[in-house]
Structure 1
Amino acid sequence: MKTTKHEVNADVSKNHVNKSVASAKSKSFTTKAMVTISLLSALSYVFMLLESPPFIGFLRLELSDIPAIIGGFTYGPIAGITIELIKNLIKAITATKTAGIGELANFAISVAYVFPASFIYKKMQSKHKTFIAFGAATISMTIAGFLVNYFVTVPLYASLYGGMENVLAGAAVIPAIKDKFTLILYGITPFNIVKGIFTGLVGHYTYRFLKNKLGS
């Protein structure tokens, strides 16, 4: 069957229209993603400002990583990291009490959680991927938290609050805590494990509720 010149031109025009529609959809998705990430960043910042009762000393459970988890699960790990970055930049500029050092430490620990969680969730094809993602994220955050707290956060709070003795006094409810190392090992590390599990549970059910609305 012979193809006419008119039919060829029609096919070319149809392909051009399809490409234009696909490009428009791509731009629309990008715009939607940017707007969603901006809103999640603002929500994350608000959650960061809300303080819960202290666990030990300066340790508090918070919900500010939940929007980053939602963004990471929806658009990928870079989106989650971006939300954490924006949250901590705004806090460092507007409400820091540590000259930005606390926000830098928070960013490092949060990224150690959000990146592996969202990366595994997006890449793994398994019905258990959510459990594996949050398990790996909790382990990653616990390790990162130990290092960041040992070298940055605990020394920072010691300098702000009159020495290591005052920091240790806040953890006096745990008799095994005698120095900086045992403070992190017996006080902060268990807290980070609890925080990882808490964030995973809340993040999982929140994402399930919002998944269809966000359009992953």
Structure 2
Amino acid sequence: MKASENNTMNGNYVRRSVFTTRAMVTVSLLSALSYVLMLLESPPYIGFLRLEFSDIPAILGAFWFGPAAGIVIEFIKNLIKAITATKTFGIGELANFVVSVAYVVPASLLFRKLKGKYKSVLAFSVATLSMMVIGFLMNYFVTVPMYAKMYGGIDNIVAAASMVPGVKNMFTLILIGITPFNLVKGIFLGIVGHLTYEMLKKVIHE
């Protein structure tokens, strides 16, 4: 067995170093795929939130090589998007990076540490909670205030979410408008991430 690999006794997964040549090539490919998937996004929700599959390659990379790989994939994806195709002067990409890392890191740490039939459920549940909390803080202190400066004030941002009952100011916008979206996104990523990992598990463990 190579020093960079640590096979578990029950064969559930293989830990590999993110610094091997194979790992760096794989992370690069996953980063490129993540960027492409980021461009295939849903129609906007309350102006600037979109659902897409770009975090799935980061989840796979983090499950395979560890949290650092997931962070690298998220960073490269958002950096390329900020340089080549941003519609928000990098604000959306910054928010996406922070919130996505808040999801991928705890998911991968728990998935690689836990054992048992329901480890995916627990890992993705904690990851979703983490994304909701970090997303709330990020939006309240950074993202929404920056959007407000860009689009002429917080009233314009709140007006974009007028279809959501109860949204009256920045706090309610984030609590009622954005946080439930992150809950749905976390569940969505968990289901798709788990199914994708299970389909590719044999390839990943070769």
TM normalised by structure 1 equals 0.83
**Which of 157, 163, 167 is 1:167 aligned to?**
157
CA contact (8 A) 1:81 1:111 kept: yes
Q: Distance in 2 between matches of 1:85 and 1:145?
A: 17
| Corresponding pairs, count | 195
Secondary structure (helix, strand or coil) at the match of 1:36 reads helix
Structure 2 match to 1:92: 82
CA contact (8 A) 1:45 1:87 kept: yes
Structure 1: runs of 5+ lacking an equivalent:
1-20
Q: Distance in 2 between matches of 1:106 and 1:69?
A: 14
The one-letter code matched in structure 2 to 1:210 is L
- Greater share of helix: 1
Q: Distance in 2 between matches of 1:179 and 1:77?
A: 36
The one-letter code matched in structure 1 to 2:106 is P
Q: CA deviation at 1:128?
A: 1.1
Q: Distance in 2 between matches of 1:156 and 1:131?
A: 35
Structure 2: runs of 5+ lacking an equivalent:
6-15
Q: Distance in 2 between matches of 1:109 and 1:141?
A: 6
Q: Distance in 2 between matches of 1:36 and 1:210?
A: 14
**Which of 187, 190, 204 is 2:194 aligned to?**
204
CA contact (8 A) 1:121 1:129 kept: yes
Structure 2 match to 1:188: 178
Percent pairwise identity: 65
Map 1:2-151 to 2 at 5 A. Answer: 22=2, 30-151=20-141
TM normalised by structure 2 equals 0.87
Q: Distance in 2 between matches of 1:33 and 1:40?
A: 10
